[in-house]
Structure 1
C-alpha cells in the first residue's frame, strides 16, 4: 500500500502569507507611482523608477546568489535551507520597510526608492526558496497544487494591495485632486509600512519558532557556468553605463534651464490672466510663445538623448542574451544551462513578459488621468488598478484547476466558475472599499473571452502561449486605436492575457535541461529584471509621444512572446522533446 506524505498545513498557511506580501507590495506600487508623480513633481519616467528599483532588486539579488554559489561551488539557498533563507529574506524586507518609513518621514523620493529596493531584495531571496519549500511541505505529487494555491493568494494580494495603499494615501474613496496631493499627510503611509514591517518580523518569528518545519537543506554542487556568469556581469555593467547618463541628465544645466523656463512660464501665464492692458497682453503672449518654443527645443534635445540611452539599456539585456545564444551554439563548454537555446529565448520571453505585465499597470494611472480616458484624479484610479491585477487572479484561478485530478466535466465547469468567482471578489472588494464600480460591470465580457481562450488552449503550453499572446496583441491594438471605456477595458484585458503566461514560458524554457534545470530556473528568475527596465522605457516614451501611444512598447512585448511560442516548438522538436504531451498549469 502506497503511503502519502501528509501536508504540513500550518506551515503552508504561514508560507502563503509570504506569497501574499509579494503581490500586495508589487501591485500597491501602481498607486504610489501616480501619487509620487504629483507629490514630488516628477515626469512619467521618474515616477516609473519605483518599478525600476523594485524589480531590478530581484535581478541583482538572484545574480549575487548565483555568483556566490559559483564561487563556493554550492547553492547558497539549499545550503542555508529553505526555512532559514525565507527567514533571512523576511528580515531583509523588514529592514527595507524601516528604510521606507524613514524616507517617507523625511519626504525624500530617492529614499523611498532605496527602501523599496531593499524590500524587493528580501523578496528575491524569499521567492528563490518559497516555491520549492511549498513542494517540500507535503507529498511531492501534489506539490503543484500547493504552489498554485500560493499563487492564487499572491493574486489576491495584487487585488487588495492597490485598495489598501490608496486608502493609506488618500483616506477615503472621495476624490482628491492632483493639486491637493502635494498637501496630503504621509502619516498613514508610515503606519502602513510599520504594519508591513512588523508582519515581516512576525512571520519570520513564526518560521524560526516552528520546530515541525523541515529545514529544506541539501548539498548540491553547482554546474560550472563561467561564461554564463561573465555574460550576466557584462550585461549588468552595461546597464549601469547606459542608465547613469539618464539619471545624471536630471541634474544637468540644460534640465535646470528647463525648470527655470517652466517657472517663468507659470509666472507669465498668471500675469496674462490678471492683466487688463490689451497691449501688455500681446507682449506677454509673445514672450510665452517664445519661451515655450525654446523650452520645447531644449527638452526635445534632452529627451532624445535619454531615450537613446534607455534603448541602449534594453539592447544590453537582449543583445547580451542573443550573444550568449550564438556563442553557446559554437561551443557549449562553460555556458551551463545557457547551452540550451530554449532557455535563452525563454529568458528574453520572461523578461518581456514581466516587463509588459508591470508596464501596463504602472502606466495605467497616467493614462486614466488624460481627458480621453476619463480625466480621473490619482485618488480615483484604485478600482482600475485593482481590476488589472485582479485579472491576473482571474486567469490564475482558472489555470490552477488543471493541477487537480478531476473528471473532464468537473474541470470544464470549474474553468468557467473560478473566473466568475474571482471577478465577483474583485468587484465586491472595491464596492466594500467605497468605490464606484458600475463602469467595470461590462468588463465581464473580457472575462468571458478569456474563458473561451482557456478552452481553445487545451491545457498545452505552446498552444496556451500562442493563444494568450494573440489575445494580448489584439487587446493592445484595440486599446491603441480607441479611447474611453473600450480602450480602458482593452488595456485591462492585457492582465487577462498575462495571467497564464508565466508557467507556460517557465515550463517550455526548462524542458530538456536535465541536470541544468535548477540553474536554468535561477536564470529565469533573474529575468524579473524586465519589470525594472521596460516600464521606465514606456514612461520615457510617454514623456515624448504621449501616454496613449507609449503602449506600443507593451504591444512589442506581446509580439516577442508570440515569436517565442512559435520558435520554441521547433527547437524542442529538433531535440525530440514532445511538447504536446507536456501540461501547463
Structure 2
C-alpha cells in the first residue's frame, strides 16, 4: 500500500464528505418516497417497501460480486484498482442509476424506479467499500479516525435533510396534499432532483479522477481464500430469489386479479349492503393469499438466519475453506448487522404509514417529512455524541460534549425543519427522549458490549411503549428507535471483528454484505402490516432489538473464551 501523506488533502476530503452526505440523503429520502409511491401507484404496504428491497439488496449484491471476483483473481479488486479509482467507478455507476431513475419517472413506471434505485445503491456499495480506508489515506494516519467521524457526521446530516428535500421534490409545496390527490401530482421535480444528484456524482468523480494530489491507494496483497463461504452465499442468494419470486408473482395471480376487479366494483357501488358483501368477498380471498405471501417472506428470513447458522456449525467442525466465517463472533455479528440495518430501516420506512392512521395524527403523506426527518436525525444525535470518544478528551470536557452535542444536533434538526416551513411544536418535547439517550451514554462508558446491550434494551423498551400506547406518546417512542440505533452499528462491527487477525478485512466485507437486512426486514414488516395493521407490525423491530441485546451477551462470552478482554476494547469509529 502506498504510504500515507502527512498533510491532509482537503479538496479530496471535502469531495468525499459530499459523497458521505448523499449516502444518507438518498437512504433517508426513501422513507418519504415509500408512502408517496404507495398512494401514487396504488400499492399495498409490502409493495411500497420494495423501495427498500431494491436499495439495500443492491449493497449485498455489490459486495458479494466484489468478493467473488476478488477471490477468483486472488486479489482484492478495490485495492487492485485503488481506492481512488474504486470511488470514481462507484460514483459513475450511481450517476448511471440516477439517469435510469429519471427515465423511469418520465415513463411513469414503479418497476423502473426500483431498478434505478438498485443501480444507484450498487454504486454506493463500491463507494462505501473504499471510502473509509480512502479517508485515512488523505492525511496523517493518526488523525484518520477524525476524518471518518467527520464523514459519518455529515452522512447523518444528509439523513436529516434528505426527507425534507425529497418531500419538496415530490409534493412541490409546504402545504398539505391529501393522499387522494397524490396520484395527480406531476413528477417533474423528481427529474430535477435526480438530474442534480447525477451531475454531482459525475462532478465528484471528475474531481477525484483528475486530482493528481489524491493517492491511488493501490495494494497487491493477496486475498484470504474462503471457497465454502462463497458457495454458501451464492446458494443463499439463489434461495432468496426462490422465496421472493412467488410473492412477486402472486400480485398477478388469479386471486389478485379477482381482488382488483372487486375493488373496482367497490368504488362504483353506493349500496350499503352490496359494499359489505364485496368487502366480505375481498377478505375471503385476500386473507389466505396474504398468509401465503407471509410464509414465503418468512422463508427468506429463514434462508439468511439458517444459512449463517449452518456456516457457523460447519466451520466449527472443520474451519478449512470458511475463511473469516470460522469465527463464531463474526457469524453472530453478521446476523446482528443484518438485524440492525433491518430494524433501523424498517422503523423509518413504515413510520409514514403509521402517521397516516387517525390514532397517530392522521397526517397526509405530504405532512410526515418533519417526523421522518426527526427519526433519521435521531441517528445523527447519537452519532455526534459517539464521535466524542474518537478524540483524546477526558473529564469535564468530555462530559460537557456528551451533553452538549446531542442537544445541539436536536436544535439543528428543529431549525432546519423550521426554515423549511414545518411546524415543529409537537416535537419540542422529544428533547426528553434525547436526555434519556445522554444518560445511556454515561451508563455505557464507551464499552462496546455495554453500549450494545444498553442501547438495545433502550430500543426494545421504546418499541414496547410504542406498541402499548397511541398518539404522540407512541410516535415519540418509535422515533426514539432512531436514538437507540444511532450508536449500535459501530459496536457490532467492533465486536464481530475482534480476534480475526488476517481475516479482518474479509470479515468486514461479510459484514457489509449483511446490509441486506435493510432489503428484507422492512418488506416483512410491511406484509405483516397488511395482515395485522401497521401499529401491531412494530413487533418486528421489538424482536430485532431483543436479538441485538442477546448478541451483546453471547459475543462477550465467546470472546472471553478466546482470551480477548472485551471490556478494554474501544468501539470502532465507522459510519455506514
Task: Give the TM-score, by structure 1 length.
Answer: 0.96
1: CA distance between counterparts of 2:35 and 2:318? 48
**1:356-505 to 2 correspondence within 5 Å?**
356-505=343-492
**1:35-184 to 2 correspondence within 5 Å?**
35-184=36-185
1: CA distance between counterparts of 2:363 and 2:477? 18
2: CA distance between counterparts of 1:199 and 1:185? 24
**1:182-581 to 2 correspondence within 5 Å?**
182-268=183-269, 271-272=270-271, 285-581=272-568
State the secondary structure of the residue aligned to 1:580. Answer: helix
1: CA distance between counterparts of 2:530 and 2:409? 35
State the secondary structure of the residue aligned to 1:440. Answer: helix
Shift of 1:409: 1.4
**1:8-23 to 2 correspondence within 5 Å?**
8-23=9-24
2: CA distance between counterparts of 1:72 and 1:170? 48
Q: Is the 8 A contact 2:5 2:137 kept in 1?
A: no
Q: What is the RMSD computed on CA atoms of the aligned residues?
A: 0.9
State the secondary structure of the residue aligned to 1:212. Answer: coil
2: CA distance between counterparts of 1:46 and 1:578? 46
Instruction: Show CA shifts across 1:520-574 (max 9, x none).
Output: 0000000000000000000000000000000011111101100100000000000
Q: Which runs of 4+ in 1 moved over 4 A?
A: none
| Count of paired positions | 569
2: CA distance between counterparts of 1:148 and 1:199? 22
Shift of 1:408: 1.9
State the secondary structure of the residue aligned to 2:176. Answer: coil
Q: Is the 8 A contact 2:160 2:413 kept in 1?
A: yes
Task: Give the TM-score, by structure 2 length.
Answer: 0.98
State the secondary structure of the residue aligned to 2:567. Answer: coil
2: CA distance between counterparts of 1:19 and 1:287? 55
Shift of 1:519: 0.1
2: CA distance between counterparts of 1:408 and 1:246? 55
Shift of 1:389: 0.3
1: CA distance between counterparts of 2:315 and 2:5? 42
Q: Is the 8 A contact 2:170 2:190 kept in 1?
A: yes
2: CA distance between counterparts of 1:219 and 1:318? 34
Shift of 1:288: 2.5
Larger Rg: 1
Shift of 1:4: 8.7
1: CA distance between counterparts of 2:277 and 2:48? 29
State the secondary structure of the residue aligned to 1:182. Answer: helix
Structure 2 residue ranges without an equivalent (≥5): none
2: CA distance between counterparts of 1:348 and 1:220? 28
State the secondary structure of the residue aligned to 2:568. Answer: coil
State the secondary structure of the residue aligned to 2:184. Answer: coil
Q: Is the 8 A contact 2:80 2:218 kept in 1?
A: yes
1: CA distance between counterparts of 2:11 and 2:409? 25
Instruction: Show CA shifts across 1:256-278 (max 9, x none).
Output: 0000011111211xx33xxxxxx
2: CA distance between counterparts of 1:240 and 1:220? 34
Instruction: Show CA shifts across 1:406-459 (max 9, x none).
Output: 122111110101001100110000000000100000000000000000000000
